[in-house]
Structure formats: C-alpha cells, structure tokens
A and B are shown apart, each in its own frame.
Chain A
C-alpha cells in the first residue's frame, strides 16, 4: 500500500505466528482422532484391584450343594497352582447369557476353575438360570445386596476377573466375553500362567 517499501526483517517469524493456530489445530485434531480411533474406551474404568490380593469379603453359597468363596479360596494350594476366573453374573443380566457358553467351554475344555459371583439377584431366579443354561462354576458366592460386588469394584454386569495362582487380581474385563475377547485378552494370559507353571 505504502509508497515507501517498509523493511520486514521479521517476516519469517510473522509466518511462524500465522501458522501457529493451524499447527495447533492439526496437532489437536490428530490427537483426538487417534484417541477416538485407537484409544481406550473412556467408559472402561481400570480396576483398582489390579496387583492387589483379592478382597477379604466372604460370600455365602448360592446353592446348598456348592460352596461359596472367600479370600482363603485363592492363592497357593487352592486350585492346584492354576489361575482362577471370578465371573460376576446375575439372572437379569442379558449379556451374561451371551458369554455363558464361552465361560462354560473355558471351564470344561481348559479346566480353569471359575468362581461365580451372583450379585443383586434373587436366589431362586439365579438357580433357575443355572438349571436352564448349565452351571460351569466351581464355587458360587451369593451377594443379594451387591455389597461384595462393591468390594470387588464391580460397576457393570458382567465382569470377569483373572486371579493369579498367588491370589492376586491380575486382570479385569468389563462386559461379556465374546470369542474375540477370549482370544485377545484371556487366552494369552492363561497361556502365560500355564507356561510359568511348567
């Protein structure tokens, strides 16, 4: 505009400033996209129990012919050095029905002991549910008020914990165990324990 050519010694820096918002936007967009596409689901809350011994809660048995469980039923000498799965279920929980055959197969074919934690359920409903679908559990604890569930940090149904042969919680999965989840999350961990035992 001006007739006299104004010297611009800082034009390089000026460009840098002009580009800054664009660069920031691109960086943020990239970060958000990555989190949306590949990041962890924010609805999944990591278990606070990982690395800790199982909770001290003792659960009464659900059925007269099958024991409940407490902290003494984990750890050395309780399952022949095998890891144990603790599966939180209820008869009213629809996804529990979905994962039931997979848990049954895991217990039957790999001989993994699975403890059932029947939470916020009516006893007769739970027993009817097991009679209908089959009972894959080695032990079933009955937790009508959901207090044991809270001690285990349960917030959704179903949830499945993996407890090491030492009696420490090593992993928790929230939601139904699908074949993909079994393949991706559970089998590698169970295999690692099987190798460690040999």
Chain B
C-alpha cells in the first residue's frame, strides 16, 4: 500500500512538472502576442554555444542575449522573417535550426527521398528478376517433384510422435 501511494504521488508530481524553460521572467515582453511570436522565432534559432539546442531551450549567456535581441527587433516592428535575417546576417544560415534550401543544403534535403527511391527501385528490380526466374522454370512441377512431395506428405501424416521419427527414417533408409 505504501509503495502504491509513493508511486501515485510520484506520478502526480511528474505530471505537475512542465518542460524546463530557459526564458527568464525579466526577458518576457508585456504584449502576449509579441511574446508568442518571440517564442516561435526563438525555437528556430540555434544556440551557437550549445549547437543542437534552440535559444529558447538554452541557458547559455549568448542564447539569452539572442533572445533579448529577438524581442527588441519585434518591438522595433520587424516581421518574423526580418528578425531571422538580422541574425543570419551576423551568424549565417547555421543559426537557423531548419536550414533553408539552397545549393549547399540540397543534398541534406533531398537525401532521404533519394535513398527511398533507390530502395524502391532495388525492390522492383529484385521482384522482376524473381518473376522472370519463375516464368523460366515453367511454374509447374515435374513428375519427379510431384512424386517426392507425395512421399513426404504421406510420411508426415504417418508419424504424429516425434520419437518415432528416427525409426521411421531408418525404415525408409533400409
């Protein structure tokens, strides 16, 4: 009972915790609409010090500075795209967590589709080869094969017990 209570308490506590947020109260904008836009933009801006975190998630100093800049640009009347352009002018496309499609990233974006296409073509070729092979074999059994199957089937029907198998085999061999 104690263990059950502990488990339930643990689950309730777990449910109460939200995702950790790096955005500090003093950074937040008073206008909720602008703040919401700032959050959306921040989630696509890479924290350059911690690499695979967004500035929205990161506690790094530079991430905080960039979050503040995002909000300043929004207050100055920038569109979302203008805020991103402001940052890419300084840090390059690398600062965006979803890199734009261009000559350098074309392999990155098309890679998965190319691999799937190669896979599908390979499967198609394999099936075609198999079908050709079967057609060549005629698709029917020879008399010899038919006889062999009949023997095997009658044997399988004969012994239900696994222990008799060895003796059955011996019987056939003699």
Contact = CB atoms under 8 A, between A and B. Distances in A.
Interface of A: 2-4, 6-10, 13, 17, 20, 42-43, 45-49, 55, 120, 145-147, 150-153, 155-156
B94 to A, nearest CB: 5
A10 B90 contact: no
Contact of A45 (B61, B89, B91, B148): B91
A42 B90 CA distance: 18
A143 B8 CA distance: 53
Contact of B92 (A8, A47, A146, A152): A47
19 contacts: A4-B142, A4-B145, A7-B137, A10-B129, A10-B132, A17-B126, A43-B51, A48-B88, A48-B90, A48-B91, A146-B62, A146-B65, A150-B90, A151-B90, A153-B90, A153-B91, A153-B92, A155-B48, A155-B62
Nearest to B141: A4
A3 B148 contact: yes
Contacts of A151: 90
A41 to B, nearest CB: 12
Interface string B86-103: 001111101000000000
B49 A155 contact: yes
Nearest to B145: A4
A112 B22 CA distance: 42
Contacts of A42: 51
B66 A150 contact: yes
A46 B142 CA distance: 70
Interface of B: 48-49, 51, 61-62, 65-66, 69, 88-92, 94, 122, 126, 129, 132-133, 136-137, 142, 144-145, 148
A4 B94 contact: no
> Which 7 residue pairs are nearest across A and B when measured between Cβ atoms?
A48-B92, A155-B48, A153-B90, A45-B94, A10-B129, A153-B91, A146-B65
Contacts of B65: 145-147, 150
A42 B52 CA distance: 11
Contacts of A7: 136-137
Contact of B129 (A6, A13, A43): A13
Contacts of A46: 92, 94
A19 to B, nearest CB: 13
Given A4-B145, A48-B90, A10 B62 contact: no
Contacts of B62: 146, 155
A48 B137 contact: no
Contacts of B89: 48
A10 B135 CA distance: 13
Given A45-B48, A155-B62, 10 more contacts: A4-B142, A7-B137, A9-B136, A45-B92, A48-B89, A48-B90, A49-B90, A151-B90, A153-B91, A155-B48
B91 A155 contact: yes
Nearest to B62: A155
Nearest to A7: B136
Given A9-B136, A48-B91, A4 B48 contact: no
